[in-house]
A = this chain, B = another copy of it.
């Protein structure tokens, strides 16, 4: 009753005003969301302008291929098969040249192979008479599709020919199945193959000749970029922890402690880029059969380095928090200076290596920074081993510290599992015991 009164009281003039305000604020929200979305798109485009180029290239390739449909003589000659050219362009067109090549070649060869086998299967099935034909064809489709699907679980096939196997199954089923109805099988297979070839050719033309994006180049830059990130970490470490007057506090929020994380997760994109790069023709400074595999080895080492950095990072954060400012005896200062030298020189060495990769110039054989870092490490070891007691304890102590870090991490994992058990409502162990008791009693 009261509610009704309030509403009718307000209805006199406030409701339209409120409605208007509501509409206005809703429109404002929509406007702001659109602006935010636009800014996001602009950022994606700015981060890598080649993305815009790629989008336009896909549009171009599709438009080129759809011209086939509009030109009457071609259409009459090929009929509905022209559709396969459009389909091929949409599916084959990838961001990098290598990716497009791999998909295009897979598609073309798989179609050819499957077409031949399907025609053979059709001829065998034809011998079985009108009633037997569909049964035999169905058995063929079942067997080949199963076998081909199983072959995708072989790691080598999965890595290189996964798409080809899909196309193989697709073409075989389509040709084998439609052969039962369509009379001019060979002519159809020929049409289909030539339209697919035209689609692949269009894709290759646009990816290679219009602003090409080479997977090899991206892989090369990724390797150099990873080394730069490792150097960033070491430089940050030096300036924030080991330099004189270094703050050594509130380290958790520093960006240098996050920078190695993207290196840790670079394996997947590195592997796929390497796979693509192997198919690319020579371009720029990269000849055909360039040793791309070496970038994977370098990447594995970079990731191992990043994972040591992660261990060091969690250690630095916990240590500085607990008792860093207390330590100021002579030896500590010496060790600190050596640490600063090791990190600074390693960082410089990594920068040099990254630059060597970027400019494709052999790194200078002098390696002043690298040897300075090694010298500092050796000097530190010598310094520490002067005190025999200390040296003996030290190495066990390091392992013990790392292990106690592992204990802390195990505790975090335990908390995470607890959280999962609570949110996902795992069974209560006591309830289970009670159930058992009840079962025994009953």
Instruction: Enumerate chain A interface residues (CB-CB to B < 8 A).
Output: 40-41, 44-45, 51-52, 54-56, 58-60, 62-63, 66-67, 69-70, 75, 80, 83, 86-87, 90-91, 134, 137-138, 141-143, 145-147, 149-150, 153-154, 166, 169-170, 173-174, 177-178, 180-181, 227, 230, 234, 264-265, 267-268, 290-291, 294-295, 297-298, 301-305, 307-312, 314-316, 319, 322-324, 326-327, 329, 331-332, 335-336, 338-339, 342-343, 346, 349-350, 353, 356-357, 359-364, 367, 370, 373-374, 376-377, 380-381, 384, 389-390, 392-414, 416-424, 426-429, 432
Contacts and interface: CB of A to CB of B under 8 A. Distances in A.
B301 A416 contact: yes
A187 to B, nearest CB: 15
B62 A169 contact: yes
A360 B154 contact: no
Contacts of A405: 308
Contacts of A63: 138, 141-142, 145
Contacts of A142: 59-60, 62-63
Contacts of A423: 291, 294
10 nearest interchain CB pairs? A311-B311, A307-B307, A59-B146, A377-B404, A55-B150, A59-B142, A362-B421, A55-B149, A70-B134, A58-B149
Most buried by B among A141, A268, A407: A407
A43 to B, nearest CB: 10
For the complex formed by this chain, how many copies does it contain in all? 2
A83 B180 CA distance: 12
Contacts of A45: 150
A297 B416 CA distance: 8
Contact of A416 (B181, B267, B294, B397): B294
Given A177-B86, A409-B304, A392 B329 contact: yes
Contact of A339 (B70, B356, B403): B403
B315 A170 contact: no
A297 B146 CA distance: 37
Contacts of A307: 264, 307, 310-311
Nearest to A241: B399
B41 A154 contact: yes
Contacts of A58: 145-146, 149, 169
Given A59-B143, A414-B353, A381 B404 contact: yes
B310 A417 contact: no
Nearest to A359: B427
A56 B418 contact: no
Given A45-B150, A87-B174, 14 more contacts: A58-B149, A86-B173, A265-B267, A294-B416, A295-B420, A308-B311, A312-B403, A329-B389, A332-B393, A339-B403, A346-B410, A362-B418, A362-B421, A370-B414
